């Protein structure tokens, strides 16, 4: 879908997202090596279940970690002896993979081998149904190469800013006036700081303190985002001054303190998502010193989030991780080439998105976690989809779940 910066302003994709294929218990195939696949720590299991018929081609493949291995190679063949390998993965640190080539209908066999220790897993099979839905994984190198070197990168590029400014004085005048009223309120925000939670967790007092801290974080970043965006559109100094005041205040918070992901993830997640937006939209107005301070701060927050996510690529049933993985990917886009780990943040997100996400949905647009989580998590992921469409050239509508997600809501 080709869009302009102006049409992206309300951050368009509004009914969508999250990824694929359901969850089944798994049974072993025929052994081909000594390695043991560990399913004790994974809630995703073996995908597809052995012998299962799949309706999306190629299916995503998931396996338990092989003992002692940290990198894997997957092979797919028409015969169980693998006399000819149809397609194979590059070495991957993740226990999930979707091939980049569509597989014809019929029976297929696949196996995983470890790159680190050379151990092999078992051989499994699946059947591709007739007339499958085509959903091959894109080339991630190609997507990453599209990230611009300039800013902004999230939701619009530098060459789209002028069109957005023109629209703010024309077809989007009403929306722009609304945003300016919100910005005036943001100017008046009294800055507060989350404090240490000392109450015993599980008590009413601890819950109230937890809520107070994340409310402070949300109110602060929402105001900062509004002012940064209004500066991007208008270039007015007063919006820049207001956004800079909030950004500097946020940088004064200890990223390993009360607002950290391990102390209060509801506090940490908005910081992970919105500080990068402020940096992206204010970039040209920030000094070199200010940029360094943001990068150093966000590298800590980003790596703490990645550590908290851990092996979520094969532990699919963690609601907060369903937000955090793509919030981290947005940060990765903004700090690409500035934070060394940012590329892995994006690759990790793309891998999840093209494999099991959403764990509670499937290719037909169905959803099994209730309307509240559907409306919340599908709406939240549209931010990531808009960001990835703009910066990476990702096409959200190619994802079977996204294409059909509106059917469930209707």
pTM above 0.85, yes or no: yes
One domain for residues 381 and 235: yes
3-state secondary structure of 211: helix
Is 49 a domain residue? yes
Answer yes or no: are the C-beta atoms of 67 and 41 closer than 8 Å: no
3-state secondary structure of 334: helix
Is 352 a domain residue? yes
One domain for residues 365 and 396: yes
Give the residue-averaged pLDDT of 42-52: 84
One domain for residues 242 and 354: yes
One domain for residues 302 and 232: yes
Which residues span the domain enclosing 81?
A: 45-134
Last residue of a domain, one of 134, 165, 184: 134
Mean pLDDT of the chain: 88
One domain for residues 235 and 216: yes
Is 249 a domain residue? yes
The whole-number pLDDT of residue 32 equals 35
Give the residue-averaged pLDDT of 303-323: 86
Pairing of strands 120-134, 106-114: antiparallel
Phi, psi (degrees; rounded to nearest 5) at 218: -65, -50
Which CATH number fits the domain that encloses residue 380? Answer: 1.50.10.100
One domain for residues 345 and 296: yes
Last residue of a domain, one of 134, 158, 186: 134
The whole-number pLDDT of residue 37 equals 55
One domain for residues 257 and 214: yes
Last residue of a domain, one of 134, 168, 203: 134
Tally the domains of the chain. Answer: 2
Give the residue-averaged pLDDT of 172-192: 97
3-state secondary structure of 246: helix
One domain for residues 185 and 111: no
The whole-number pLDDT of residue 118 equals 82
């Amino acid at each position: 879908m080709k869009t302009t910066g102006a049409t992206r302003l309300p951050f368009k994709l509004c009914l969508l997202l999250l990824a694929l294929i359901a969850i089944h218990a798994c049974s072993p195939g025929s052994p081909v090596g000594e390695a043991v696949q560990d399913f004790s720590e994974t809630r995703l299991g073996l995908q597809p279940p052995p012998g299962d018929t799949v309706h999306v081609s190629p299916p995503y493949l998931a396996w338990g970690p092989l003992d002692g291995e940290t990198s894997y190679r997957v092979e797919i063949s028409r015969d169980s002896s693998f006399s000819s390998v149809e397609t194979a993965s590059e070495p991957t640190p993740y226990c999930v993979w979707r091939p980049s080539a569509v597989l014809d209908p019929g029976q297929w066999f696949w196996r995983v081998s470890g790159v680190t220790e050379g151990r092999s897993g078992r051989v499994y099979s699946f059947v591709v149904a007739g007339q499958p839905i085509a959903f091959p994984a894109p080339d991630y190198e190609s997507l990453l190469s599209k990230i611009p070197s300039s800013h902004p990168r999230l939701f619009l590029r530098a060459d789209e800013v002028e069109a957005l400014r023109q629209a703010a004085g024309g077809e989007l005048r009403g929306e722009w006036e609304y945003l300016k009223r919100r910005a005036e309120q943001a100017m008046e925000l009294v800055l507060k700081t989350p404090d240490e939670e000392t109450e015993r967790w599980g008590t009413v007092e601890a819950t109230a303190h937890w809520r107070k801290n994340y409310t402070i974080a949300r109110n602060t970043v929402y105001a900062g985002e509004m002012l940064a965006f209004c500066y991007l559109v208008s270039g007015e100094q007063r919006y820049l001054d207001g956004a800079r005041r909030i950004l500097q205040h946020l940088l004064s918070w200890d990223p390993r303190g009360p607002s950290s992901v391990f102390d209060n993830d509801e506090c940490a997640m908005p910081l992970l998502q919105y500080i990068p937006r402020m940096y992206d939209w204010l970039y040209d107005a920030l000094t070199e010193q200010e940029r360094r301070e943001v990068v150093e701060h966000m590298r800590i927050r980003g790596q703490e989030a990645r550590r908290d996510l851990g092996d979520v690529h094969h532990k699919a049933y963690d609601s907060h991780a369903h937000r955090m993985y793509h919030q981290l990917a947005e940060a990765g886009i903004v700090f690409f080439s500035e934070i060394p780990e940012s590329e892995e943040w994006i690759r990790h997100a793309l891998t999840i998105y093209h494999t099991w996400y959403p764990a509670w949905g499937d290719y037909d647009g169905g959803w099994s976690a209730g309307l509240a989580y559907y409306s919340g998590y599908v709406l939240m992921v549209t931010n990531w989809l808009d960001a990835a469409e703009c910066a990476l050239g990702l096409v959200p509508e190619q994802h079977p779940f996204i294409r059909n997600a509106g059917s469930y809501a209707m």
